[in-house]
Structure 1
Amino acid sequence: MNYSGILDQIHRDLKPWLGKGRVASYIPELANISAERFGMAIVRTTGEVFRTGEADTRFSIQSISKLFACTLAFQLLGDDLWQRVGREPSGTAFNSLVQLEAEQGKPRNPFINAGALVVTDVLCRRFVKAETALVEFIRRLSGERGIGYDAAVAQSELQHAHRNRAMAHFMASFGNLKMPPDLVVDAYTRQCAISMSSVELARAALFLANRGAVPSTGEQIVDASSAKRLSALMLTCGTYDAAGDFVYRVGLPAKSGVGGGIVAVLPGEMAVCVWSPGLDANGNSLAGTLALEWLTTFTGQSIF
């Protein structure tokens, strides 16, 4: 498969779409990023790397961090994690409080904000600094020691975290948050402010395409069955309230973030990450979704 040629073709064909959509202006630090920027990378389980555009430029991974936080929490608790957070698509916006009242403070899944706060609460109970533990985990997955979080982005998010604070306190009232809500929100905002490139994110997610093991080191992060289950969660819940349409168009398990990144996996073959900051109405990268749709169309590769 000529992945280099396909990525270059996608980059050329996408040019009319770059700059469309809206950046995440509700986070002031992200509002300054041009919507015209673009990078895309494929990392195969064999170690081969293919890239186009700004594939080595770091950006704010935002909700993509939820995938790695969930994996780390699942390492700690196993299936007991699902006693506190569900595994169903939400059908509502990623920052909605609507279902928490009716469902006694148990979020629908770990990839909406409420669910991610519960996951962060798990990490805060186990680690002195949850965000530091998560950064170290991601460094192991990606093999990149220089990965960290952007303090300016974290502070910008924290100053506008009213809805996340409301969710945290509301879940605490149901007993589904064990640590102080403000501590959990602080750790969560720093987690979302982690900066990585498309190449680094694809490498970090590659264990899911390799039966739960990091190909470069052989470290078994989760067993093969758990890798399948985490990928299934990505497929059904990973792209906000557009998961059905995304699966229809792309056909890969994926996790998106409002920083414009989307990471996806093809089991047994590769992980791919695309970055384009212009978002559609659901908070997914507009050009990034199109790029992944074209990738699976041009290669004929998806999980279906």
Structure 2
Amino acid sequence: MSRPLPDFDTLLDDIAAEARKSIGRGKVADYIPALARISPDKFGMAICGVDGSEYVTGDADERFSIQSISKVFTLILALQTIGSNALWRRVGREPSGTAFNSLVQLESEQGLPRNPFINAGAIVVTDAITAHSVSPVLQLLSLVRRFSGKEQIYIDDVVARSEAEHGHRNAAIAHLLKSQGNLKARVEDVLVTYYRQCAIAMTCRDLARAFVPLANGGKQWESGEKLMTPLRVKRINSLLLTCGLYDGVGNFAFRVGIPAKSGVGGGIVAIIPGKFSICVWSPELDELGNSLAGTRALELFARKTKLSIF
């Protein structure tokens, strides 16, 4: 017998009140100046069910920079563009165990990034779409709009410029990849696409809707359109579980037990297959670059609902 679902409106408000107690213990990302200006007091959370039901609390309808959450969309587009065999020859599928912007591991492993969600792997994935499109950013935006069912998804140009002006480490990673033969397009073109994809602005509600296909066997949340095969969904979700929160992924799996992807803008999107996608946003990060209050909120959600993949 299936367990009755809780009153999500009340549940989310309770989770928000508890998770907000973590605000003040982390640090807003300050190496991208445009992100450093975001108020650390923000907190939003949204749930979108595979049946189209929605529940929100707090600042769930305020746009924020999705940052590395965009890597999931870029991965989906790259798999559509060049196919899985070609892509997985250039990017691994293992947890990194090192910082998301590490160069040391990349050099020691001859330019083969561990997975598509660390920066080196994401830059290779971005190269896969940049090398095969005259308008890779527009292609990516089109995919995000299709997945979310919302046409008003845009790129925050202020954040994109800030990333480009202070993206020296990412530029170093891209040049190292180029020197090791794992970048096909011009470094400058790949970086422009990469910075702009990270600067996509969305709300918790937008992201929860856009990730429903990963909870719903590949079907879009509103129309039921088939956007991915079940096998592709399974494989992407497995990567979210093992690589989605950088070198904090093991602790997140231990505490929460849900496939998820974080970004240094403070967002985390999580998937409960067959049931929901969940997005939480709180800008203060822990020492590994994951939202502190966001992680706490998802831990509380899994505990209170007894919903996880385990």
TM-score category of the 2 structures, normalised to the smaller one: over 0.9
Q: SS of the counterpart of 2:174?
A: helix
Match of 1:178 among 184, 188, 192: 184
Aligned length: 304
Match of 1:93 among 99, 122, 142: 99
Deviation string 1:185-211 (CA, Å, 9 cap, x unpaired) is 111000000000000001001100011
Q: Take 1:76 and 1:184, find their aligned partners in 2: how far apart are those partners?
A: 16
Deviation string 1:216-236 (CA, Å, 9 cap, x unpaired) is 222222210110110000000
Alignment of 1:112-151 (within 5 A): 112-151=118-157
Q: SS of the counterpart of 1:15?
A: helix
Give the corresponding residue for 2:116.
110
Range with greater deviation from structure 2 (14-23 or 249-258): 14-23
Q: Take 1:102 and 1:216, find their aligned partners in 2: how far apart are those partners?
A: 45
Identity %: 55
Preserved contact between residue 129 and residue 187 of structure 1 (Cα < 8 Å): no
Give the corresponding residue for 1:72.
77
Give the corresponding residue for 1:256.
262
Preserved contact between residue 19 and residue 37 of structure 1 (Cα < 8 Å): no
The one-letter code sitting in structure 1 at the alignment partner of 2:194 is: Y
- Which consecutive residues of structure 1, in runs of 5 or more, have no partner in the other structure? none
Preserved contact between residue 20 and residue 35 of structure 1 (Cα < 8 Å): no
Preserved contact between residue 19 and residue 294 of structure 2 (Cα < 8 Å): no
- Which consecutive residues of structure 2, in runs of 5 or more, have no partner in the other structure? none
- Shift of residue 153 of structure 1? 0.3
Q: Take 1:18 and 1:129, find their aligned partners in 2: how far apart are those partners?
A: 39
- Shift of residue 79 of structure 1? 2.0
Match of 2:300 among 287, 294, 301: 294
The one-letter code sitting in structure 1 at the alignment partner of 2:262 is: S
Preserved contact between residue 29 and residue 35 of structure 2 (Cα < 8 Å): yes
Q: SS of the counterpart of 2:28?
A: coil
Match of 1:303 among 303, 306, 309: 309
Q: Take 1:65 and 1:251, find their aligned partners in 2: how far apart are those partners?
A: 22
Match of 1:156 among 139, 157, 162: 162
The one-letter code sitting in structure 1 at the alignment partner of 2:44 is: G
1:37 equivalent in alignment to 2:64:
no
The one-letter code sitting in structure 2 at the alignment partner of 1:176 is: N
Preserved contact between residue 41 and residue 51 of structure 1 (Cα < 8 Å): yes
Give the corresponding residue for 1:279.
285
Return the TM-score normalized by structure 2: 0.96
- Shift of residue 131 of structure 1? 1.6
Deviation string 1:11-65 (CA, Å, 9 cap, x unpaired) is 1222322233100000000001111110000000000100000100000000000
Q: Take 1:105 and 1:146, find their aligned partners in 2: how far apart are those partners?
A: 37
Alignment of 1:1-80 (within 5 A): 1=5, 2-80=7-85
The one-letter code sitting in structure 2 at the alignment partner of 1:10 is: I
Q: Take 1:15 and 1:262, find their aligned partners in 2: how far apart are those partners?
A: 15
Q: Take 2:43 and 2:117, find their aligned partners in 1: how far apart are those partners?
A: 24
- Shift of residue 129 of structure 1? 2.1
Alignment of 1:221-236 (within 5 A): 221-236=227-242
Deviation string 1:265-292 (CA, Å, 9 cap, x unpaired) is 0000000000000000000000000000
Range with greater deviation from structure 2 (20-29 or 208-217): 208-217
Preserved contact between residue 211 and residue 268 of structure 1 (Cα < 8 Å): yes
The one-letter code sitting in structure 2 at the alignment partner of 1:57 is: E
Deviation string 1:47-92 (CA, Å, 9 cap, x unpaired) is 0100000100000000000011001111223322100000000111
Alignment of 1:169-248 (within 5 A): 169-248=175-254
Q: SS of the counterpart of 2:268?
A: strand
Preserved contact between residue 18 and residue 38 of structure 1 (Cα < 8 Å): no
CA root-mean-square deviation: 0.9
Q: SS of the counterpart of 1:215?
A: coil
